Each structure stands twice: as C-alpha cells, then as structure tokens.
Structure 1
Amino acid sequence: MCGIHGLYRFDGRPVEPAWLTAMGNVTQHRGPDDEGQHIHGACGIAMRRLSIIDLAGGHQPLSNHDDSLWLVCNGEIYNYRELRSELQAKGYQFKTGSDSEVLLHLYDAEGDAFVHRLNGMFDFALWDARRERLLIGRDRIGVKPLYVLQDAQQLAFATEAKALLALPGVRAELDTAVLPSYLQLGYVAAPASMFKGIRKLPPATLLSVERGQVKQWCYWQLSPQMHTGRSEADWIAQVRAGLERSVRMQMVSDVPIGAFLSGGVDSSAVVAYMARQTSEPIRTYAIGFEGGEAEALYNELPYARQVAQLFGTRHREIVVKPDVVDLLPQLLWHMDEPVADTAFITTYLVSQFARQDVKVILSGVGGDELFGGYRRYLGGHYARKLQVLPGWLRGLLAGAARKLPADRHSGLLNTLRLAKGFLASAEMDADARYQSYLQVLSQDLIARLLLKPGAAYDPLSAAFAQAGHEDELNRMLAVDMQTQLPDDLLMLTDKMSMAVSLECRVPLLDHELLELAASMPAAIKVKGGVLKHVMKSALSDLLPQDILHRKKRGFGTPMGAWLKKELAPLLRRLLSPEVVGARGLFVPTVVSGLIADHEANRIDGTDALLALMNLEIWSRIYLDGRTAADVAHELKSYLAA
C-alpha cells in the first residue's frame, strides 16, 4: 500500500528527480516507510510505501531480471501467491516476496491482458523500456484512486491530485463546469475532478503512452445478464461461499490487522468470517458520539459491542465530540476534493483510532450496493402500493407532504423527512424517482443557485443510460456502482484511512462477489420489502436476528443538528452574502434562503449546506493557497466571535 506518481514528457525533456521527489513529499502520509523512483529519459515513475507484505524486501520501484520492466503499485494483490507459483513454474525468477512483483512477470507473459488475472485493489504504473511505453491502470471497482494531468508537454499521474500540483507550472484552478454535478450529488463523479485540467482515471481502466501516443480503454464491466434458473437456496449458498472466500483472501498480511465494526450487517459479516479464519481474537474498532438526541441516533456502540462479544474480539471503542472546525480544513486537504458526505469525518476518526494498533483494517463498505441495503431501493415497492389509491387522494397526500417538516437528526422528524421525499417523487418514472432520492439539490434549485448556469455533464443520467438492466432495482444498483460507490464512499474511505497511513480493505467488493451479485435477480436481493434478503439469509446461522434486522443508520455525523446549534456561527460566516459574493460562484440570496429553510426545518439542508461550506473551505486551501492550519485558525475565530 502506498501512493504512486510519475510523468511522461511528450517534448522529450528528461524527467528531473526533484519533480518526483516533490510529488512524493506531498503524499508522504500514504507511505511513511519507504520511497523510490526510476527515471528513463522522458519517463519517471515513483512511490511512497506503507510496508504490508515483504516488509524488508518489497522496496519499489520493482524491476524484472534484465531491468527492462519497472513497476510501482499501490494496493494489494490478494491472489499473488497463486499467480507467483504459476509464473515460477514457467521459469520466471522473483527478486522479492512482494505481492506487487507478480504484475511485472504477468505483464511479460500475457501483455495488457494480465490485468484480468488480478484479484485485488490497486493502481499501478509500469514502464516497458523495450517499447518505451508507460502503462497505468486502476482496479475494477475503483478502490484505489488515480488522477491524470495531460497537456501538450506531459502526461502526469498520481494517487492524489495534490501531488500533481507540485509539478512546475501546474496550479490549482476550479473547473466551474463540474459545479452543477457536484451540487447535485455532493461529490465530483469520474472522470471529472474539481481541478481544471486534472481528471480521474475511471475504475477498470488502462491508459498507455507509447512514443507520444495516448490510448485509454476499459478492461472490465459487470454484465447485466441475469441467471434466473437458480433456486433461492443455491443463491444463498453461493453468497455464503463468496463472503468466506473473499474475507479469507483479504486477511493476508505481514503486519497486525483489524476490522471496523459498527454492528451493522456488513461490518458484522466481515468480522464473523474473519473470526472463522483464525484462532486469535480479531481486533475490532467502533466509534460513537457524545451529546443529545441527535448524537444518540448515530451511536451504534451497543450493537458493535454485541457482535464483538459474540465473536470474542479484542474490541476497542471511542466516544467523541469531534472538533469539526479544526478537522474540516485538514480533512478536505487530504480529500483533494470537497464532499458533502459526513462519513469522511467519521472514517478519519475511527481510522486514526485503529492506527494506534494496526496497519491494515477490513471494512464492510459495499454490501448495500451489492445486495440492496438502502431504504431508497424500496421506493418502487411503496410507489406500486400507493398506486392503488385514487388519484385525488394521492394528490392530497403529495400536497400535504410538501408542508411536512424535515430533519434527519430526530426520530420523528427523520420519518417525516423520508415520507416527504417519497411522496414528492411517487408519481415519477423509476429513473427520475431514484435520481430525486440521490440528489443533494434539485436541478431547478441548482439553476437558481449558480451565478453562471450552463450545460454540464450529468453523471446520473449517463449512468442510467449505461445501466442495461430491465428491472428497477438492478438498474439502481448498477447506477450506484458507477457513481456513488467509487467516487464518494471508496474515495473517502481511501483518503481518510491513508491520511493516517492505514490500509483499508473492502472484502465485500471482491470482483467475483460483484459478478455474482450482478447476475442475481432483484427478487432474491430484496424480497417482500426486506432489504438485503439474500445476504441476511446467508448470514442467518452466524449473526443474531436483532443484528440482521436492526434499523439501518448511516456511518456519518449529526452535522445537520450541529449546524443549527454550536456550528451555526460558522455556517453563517462561511456562507454569508459577503463571502458568497466575493467567491463569485453562487447567488447570495439563494444561499441565505437555504440556510433559513434548514434552520426552520422546512427542508433537511444538511448535505446541501455542507456541500457549499466544504467547497468554500476547499477553495481557501487550494485556490487561495492557504494552509489547512491557517484556515482552521480563521474558522475558530468565527466561533469565538
């Protein structure tokens, strides 16, 4: 696990070692244990290493027997032992015990098709000196990020966008064309980034540069083909076997390993299968919040404690009241791009806590997207029930819903918030209804909010156009696989864990498990209004019923409540008409209206306001060139005043 970076000069100018060193210094947190670089004329590749496998011998860049191939790789290859044995049987000689070295010899044996043989999370850069060819790539689902900058002089790449800003002549500029999609989703979807001129390499993508010619192609995608001939019992057995295999593969490590445990179905499943693989107690880590009703809604510690006791884990808990004002600038610098998902704060805090003991952690991220775990997946189920009511009554309910209060940080108001959103979209077609559930701000509101509205890329519509599935649920799952999962959840998981030099693995996103879930009929995943039916059935002999069927909570913070109370002065100063006007992106009166509506519970504006706040903090750091510490000091002065 590490951070990789490098560049290829189209103008033939030799790569300076200092350029690579500068890029690596920016991402030292990703690899505090080691660093290295290899330069061959106009191409240079480099890395910062966090040592996980072959601690002594896994220095990178790695090379083959005659130094004609050079590699830097970020991530883990879980099937490297099988691949290594196969390659050794063909006569390949290995210099190290590193999992990454198999990429070198597999490329030599099979060419670009080698990537199909890999089971893992990774991004890599491979220099083929024989062909003077650079090849970079990213894993199938996008667990590990990779940014690319290309202009007339060079093509540069890095695991984190900020490393590209360390190159001579490169400066941070906002790409205003991505603002509409950012406001719609609360994150920037690939291939765009918030930086003008810097893009994300999409998941499952390879890019080559050979003699100045750039080519990019997708090497894998999930098939929309359903397997309808299997019994439910067969599906359950296959899910159970897939979960056990994936967790077993991803426990390989030469350093201490642990697991995040919220007490939800996904993290509990990971811990359950980890416990079956070892006689030693699993190390588990959980987080809770101290405070009032809002904080209590996000406190899952009793459930985590129950699972920990069931499997005899070495369990540790942390209860926090985070210093959000101090954290936000620091974490947004690490994130590279602003997000509206408060899970990035929680993920950082629990990662920091776990890093006291371990260097590798397993997470339950991905189970909801594979097997249908979000409440929004039931929209069609309840919309069909609503259709039996007469039209006049449905209209009456929709009108009444518009007047309902909305707040996610109170049990009653959160129920009313969900009902309000459902009734407002119940008459839409399936795709439009689902987009209404996902959006942070509506298209109409975005048009009123932007000072310079214009045509922009719409990631959700593009994802629906590519979804391919006929049934509603699998279309929704396919859209999430292309958008929210890689560009929000996996991005923040990677950036926040690596901010504290912690490697986070996601066994529920093993690509063979993904392919199994993608081929599963919707009625097996969600049955009779029961979310994750097949996964819960597969776990019924491992986890108690109250864990399997407990009410779902997101892995976030009660930010909306804080914005109405202790963080209200921060919100009003960051999004004041003066600040908004000076930044020149949004209409100040529309922003002020959003704040007023949130404070009055007319809307739950948590995500929308956090998207705007975080964009302003991000702008102060990246566009205004200030340090995170300086911005944090300024934000604290707002509260003190």
Structure 2
Amino acid sequence: MVDTSATDEMAIANMVESCTHRGPDHSGIIKVTDGVFLASNRLKILDSRDEANQPITNKEKSAFLSWNGFLYNFQELKNQLISEGVIFKTRSDGEVLFQWLLLKGKEGIKHLEGMFAFVFVDINKSEILLVRDPVGMKSLYYHHHENKLICSSEALCLVHSGKVDASIDAQQVLPYWYLRTSMPTASFFKNVKELLPGQIAIFGLDGSKKEVTKFAVNVATGLNSPVPNQKIFKQCLVEAILKHFTAEVPVGMILSGGADSSLLYHIWFKETGIPLPTYTIGFDSPYRGKNSDADFAANLTKKYGGGNQEIKIGPAFFLQTWEEYLSQLDQPVGDSASYLTWLIAREAKKRVKVLVSGVGADELFGGYNRHMAFKTYLKRPNLWHGVSQFLQDMPLFSRSQKKFLKGIHKNPDRTFINFAALNPVPEKLGRVLEDHYPKSGSNYKNALAYDQAFYLVHDLLKIHDNACMAHGIEGRAPFLDWTLVALSKEMSEEQLITTTPKSWIKEILIAEGLGNIAERKKSGFGLPIKEWFLHHPGFRIKMSSAILDFGNKYGGLVPKEWQSLLKHPENHIQDHYLLLFNVFLLSEWINKNTQ
C-alpha cells in the first residue's frame, strides 16, 4: 500500500485480517518508508520455519517482497544464484524469488516459471513492481488514484482497507450476462482493476505510475522433434506431475473420474507408488442422474489405495452452505463449478494443504464441444453462414444444435466468441471482444488462445484459486506447467484440427489399461440446476427471488430480449438454466458485497 496520508498501519492491518484465509500460518506487516507498507499472509508449503516468513527483506532493508504462488523452476534459479555467490538461509522458493529479483532486477522476471503474483519494492531504484504470471494462475487486483496505490490477491481485500469504496461497476453486468465474468482488467468494484496475465506494472515509491510491460511463457519443451507428438507430450506431462505433486505438506487431488484428472493420478502413482487422498462430488438420489463421477473415481482409486472421498450433496445441503460460500467468494463467476470446487476444498483442508486439479487440458488441446463445433464450422464457413438463419428456429434441433446455428456469424472470430458465450453476444459487446481476440492468422489456434485468455483465466483459474485459498489450500494444475503450455503453442493449425479432442490423453489412457475412462463421454462439472429448480421448492424459491430482485434493481442494464427471464425465470429453466444460475449468483453477491 502506498498512501502518504496513512499515519499508521490500520488500513493494511484491515487488509491482512480480511485475507487471513489465504495464508493462515503467518501474517506480517512491514513499514517500508513513510506512507509505504507491505504485508503478507503466508501459507507454509516449502520450509515451514519462521525464517521463511513474509514479507521478505534483506539486512540492508533495500528491497522487500510479498508474494503468492509456487516457483516451478526455483531449484534451477537457486543453483545459478549459488554459483554467483548468494548464500541462502531457507529452503523456500520465496527466498529464491527475492534473491533473484535483488540480483537480476525486472529484467530477470522473464526467466521465472511458475504461478505467482507478487509485489517487489526496490528502494535503491525507487520502484515498486506488481507482477502476475503469464498463464494467469494467480490474481492481482489494485486500486490506483493519483498517488495512492493499494493492491492485493483479492478485490474484497482492497475494499476492506477502508480506502476503496464498494460501488458496483454497472458496466460489467452486460459482459457477465454472456461470459459469466467481468471483462479483463476490470472487477465488479468500480475502483478496483486487475492486472492481466504476464503484466509488469511499475510504480514509483510516491505511488506514481511509470510504465506497464508484459512477458510471456518463454520455455521450450526441451525435446528435439520437428513436430510435437504424443511421446513428447507424455514426457513433459510426467515431469510436470512429479513437479506439481511434490511438496513438504500433504497433497490431495480433485478426481472427477474423467480423462484429465484420472491420467494425472495414474501417472503419479505409477511413478512413485504413493497413494493420495482424492475428492469427488456426488449427488443425492434422485439427482444423481447422469453424473457418474464418483463411481469412476472410486473404481480408479481401488487400484491404488489412498481412498476416494465422495462429497455427496443435494439442494437442501446447498441451501445450508450457500451463505458460507457466498461470504468467501471474492468476485462473482457465474459457474456452479465454483461452488463445487469450494466444497471440495472445504472438506480437503482437513487432510491436505495442496490440492491438484486437471484444469487446463481442455483449453490447451481443444477438449470442449465448442471446439468440435468450431472445427465443423471452419470446414464450410460460408455454407453454414448462409443456412444458419433459416435453420436455427426449426423445432427439430436440440439445444446444442440451436446454439451452434445461432452462434454463426460472418466473422469467424465472432462465431467462436458466440460459441464460447452462454448466448450469442450483442453487436456492441461483440466488437469489444473482437478487440481482445488473438490475431495470429490461423482461425483454430486463435480460438484456443481466446479460450485460454478468457474462459481459462477469468472463469476456471479464478474459481480454482479462490475456492482453494478460501480454505488455506494451495491449488495446483500440472497441465498448465509451462512446458505443456509451450507444447500446445508449438502445435500447428493442421495438427490441432485433424486430431480428435485430447487424443494424446486418451491414447495414453488406453495404453495404460484405462480405456473405460478414455471412452467415457465428457460431462460437465456443475450442479444439476434444472433438476433442482423443477423438483425442489426451496431451491426454486431461493433462485427465483434473487433473479426477480436483480431484475428490479438492474434490469435496465440487460438487453430487452432478456427482460422476460428476469420477470418469469420459471419459463426459461429448460433452455437457459445456466444463465439463470449466472444471474442468481450475481444478484446474491452484489447484495452482500457492494454499496
């Protein structure tokens, strides 16, 4: 925090208290100089000794670091620093990061690999660096007005400082309606912004903004081959798994029984022989329906030991825990997977401090239905554009087929933007999103890059980090190790289009004797919203009341064609249950957190 009007630590102490859940093992505040304070809540993963606590500084008090994350290549960096004469006092990756920045400065940031958000204060250069990893695993929010700078891993933390008002940013309602999140760089608080993945924001000690630069994933796969292939993928994946599953504290896993998480656990056990606690969501009868995650997960873990814990829920349990979840939700993401991930972390914290997930594989290697739909569209874009208007209203088509037809636009970029949204976006919003759309020159790779920049970062990764850190757990994602990210980028347009979704993952599963999982039909990770709404009065009343309330307060911010949904949600549950939950969550979050 930089605020020349601050005469004491009250504001930053309030921030520390509001974010204790992220680092329950130690809290520390340092006054850097007049009006400049740095604080940290530490979750002890590597080296639990007090010597590794944060904020980190040196004996000269010439630099300070507060950070959140996991440095994948800390051992390599540490070895290099030792060869240059640096003496370490701890085993923590935080000390490695501090010493690296102290010696290499901001030019050394491009050599970091990991998931991180940090603030580094360099007294000698009179600079404050705000940095976020280029994959977007960790968030970094900030408020900057004139010479006042306040930043934190959570937006609510800034509001709790008492120096940032909680006014809602009404301009985020429209993108949220279609994307389930606010726009990049924005939050739902008018005066709180978010650093983009890979951004380095440089400020002076007086709070003045100097410049913003960017860095990207710059690692190579390390394997010599003209074209990425399954062998290289598996070698990179094994290395990533051994790296991300290793910690000095207990590690567990979110196991859906699907291809991605099952392969991670299988390889881990095959390489180490160490069983891990795993966690799966199950639903009470009669809502279990098509969701067989718990059955697949239980069958898999029987082979390895360790035991899979099924967390069984129903609408009554949801209603009992909803307020607790809402109180720990930093920013609204209208994805019911957020609640489920939070619930798993809530249970997992009894046994583990690191929770591994299979997030990222679909976005890197094209695993979603929208990716298959876009491949279909790209084969004959002009034909599909010509017939889509005629066919989309015919009653013979399924919900997914209608979405495909309604999403088609004369512009391929806009077509995928529509496919990735809950519903086709309005023209004005579409033009804004086109400005954010990648322009590498190949349609399918652009689509994957858009998914990685929008859906992965602002939905899945925000969910993963918020849900885990709400319970003092570090979330990790081996599929987003930088070598695998680099591998996906090295794949050609032709290679990505001609292969079936995540074919390498499925081929490895089959070769390892897990063909039943490879052949399992992909199912989404979410609540049975439609079934609960139709058959549980309490859930229906809770959702409907919140949606009606949102319509009364903010209906003017929503396009006219959706006004009926805000007035009569029960009439839209069949076709728009995801949108209804989206509005329900936003309504509840706004009422709880904004002015």
- For normalisation by structure 1, the TM-score amounts to 0.85
Letter matched to residue 212 of structure 2: W
Contact 1:78 1:252 in 2 (8 A): no
Map 1:132-151 onto structure 2 (within 5 A).
Answer: 132-151=126-145
Letter matched to residue 19 of structure 1: A
Q: 2:385 and 2:526 mapped to 1: Cα distance?
A: 38
Contact 1:575 1:613 in 2 (8 A): yes
Letter matched to residue 557 of structure 1: L
Q: 1:277 and 1:55 mapped to 2: Cα distance?
A: 27
Contact 1:181 1:457 in 2 (8 A): no
Map 1:268-307 onto structure 2 (within 5 A).
Answer: 268-292=262-286, 295-307=288-300
Matched, 1:545 2:515: yes
- Match of 1:219? 214
- Match of 2:48? 55
Q: Secondary structure at the match of 2:128?
A: strand
Map 1:606-625 onto structure 2 (within 5 A).
Answer: 606-624=577-595
Map 1:243-322 onto structure 2 (within 5 A).
Answer: 243-292=237-286, 295-321=288-314
Contact 1:560 1:604 in 2 (8 A): no
- Unaligned stretches of 5+ residues in structure 1: 1-6, 405-415, 448-454, 625-641
Q: Secondary structure at the match of 2:331?
A: coil
Query: Aligned residue pairs: how many?
Result: 586
C-alpha deviation, 1:261, in angstroms: 0.8
Contact 2:364 2:488 in 1 (8 A): yes
C-alpha deviation, 1:522, in angstroms: 3.5
Q: Cα distance 1:509–1:175, how it changes in 2: closer, same or farther (>3 A)?
A: same
Matched, 1:562 2:532: yes
C-alpha deviation, 1:130, in angstroms: 1.9
- Match of 2:414? 432
Q: 2:447 and 2:340 mapped to 1: Cα distance?
A: 26
Q: Secondary structure at the match of 1:399?
A: coil
Contact 1:525 1:532 in 2 (8 A): no
- Match of 2:458? 487
State which of 567, 570, 573 in structure 1 corresponds to 2:545: 573
Contact 2:71 2:93 in 1 (8 A): yes
Q: Cα distance 1:433–1:144, how it changes in 2: closer, same or farther (>3 A)?
A: same
Contact 1:371 1:535 in 2 (8 A): no
Letter matched to residue 575 of structure 1: I
C-alpha deviation, 1:286, in angstroms: 1.3
C-alpha deviation, 1:589, in angstroms: 8.4
Letter matched to residue 194 of structure 1: F
Deviations 1:275-309 (A, max 9, x none): 134232222221111133x5322331122123223
Letter matched to residue 605 of structure 1: H
Q: 1:525 and 1:481 mapped to 2: Cα distance?
A: 15
- Match of 1:155? 149
Q: 1:295 and 1:429 mapped to 2: Cα distance?
A: 40
- Match of 2:16? 24
- Match of 2:400? 418
State which of 482, 498, 506 in structure 2 corresponds to 1:527: 498
C-alpha deviation, 1:231, in angstroms: 6.5
- Match of 1:631? none
- Match of 2:435? 462
C-alpha deviation, 1:441, in angstroms: 4.1
Contact 2:142 2:195 in 1 (8 A): yes
Matched, 1:505 2:497: no
- Match of 1:413? none
Q: Cα distance 1:459–1:534, how it changes in 2: closer, same or farther (>3 A)?
A: farther
Letter matched to residue 355 of structure 1: K
| Mean CA deviation greater in 277-286 or 362-371 | 277-286
Q: 2:86 and 2:111 mapped to 1: Cα distance?
A: 17
C-alpha deviation, 1:584, in angstroms: 6.2
Q: Secondary structure at the match of 2:182?
A: coil
Q: Cα distance 1:133–1:568, how it changes in 2: closer, same or farther (>3 A)?
A: same
Deviations 1:323-374 (A, max 9, x none): 3334334333322222211100110111112212111111110000011100
Q: Cα distance 1:100–1:601, how it changes in 2: closer, same or farther (>3 A)?
A: same
Q: 2:430 and 2:493 mapped to 1: Cα distance?
A: 29
Q: 2:491 and 2:560 mapped to 1: Cα distance?
A: 48
Letter matched to residue 217 of structure 1: V
Contact 2:170 2:557 in 1 (8 A): no
Identity of counterpart residues, as a percentage?
A: 27
Matched, 1:116 2:113: no
Letter matched to residue 250 of structure 1: H
Q: Secondary structure at the match of 2:193?
A: strand
Matched, 1:333 2:305: no
Q: 1:457 and 1:16 mapped to 2: Cα distance?
A: 46
Q: 1:390 and 1:136 mapped to 2: Cα distance?
A: 46
Q: 2:384 and 2:169 mapped to 1: Cα distance?
A: 48
C-alpha deviation, 1:265, in angstroms: 1.4
Matched, 1:383 2:377: yes
Q: Secondary structure at the match of 1:461?
A: helix
State which of 53, 70, 74 in structure 2 corresponds to 1:76: 70
Contact 2:329 2:466 in 1 (8 A): yes
Q: Secondary structure at the match of 2:526?
A: coil
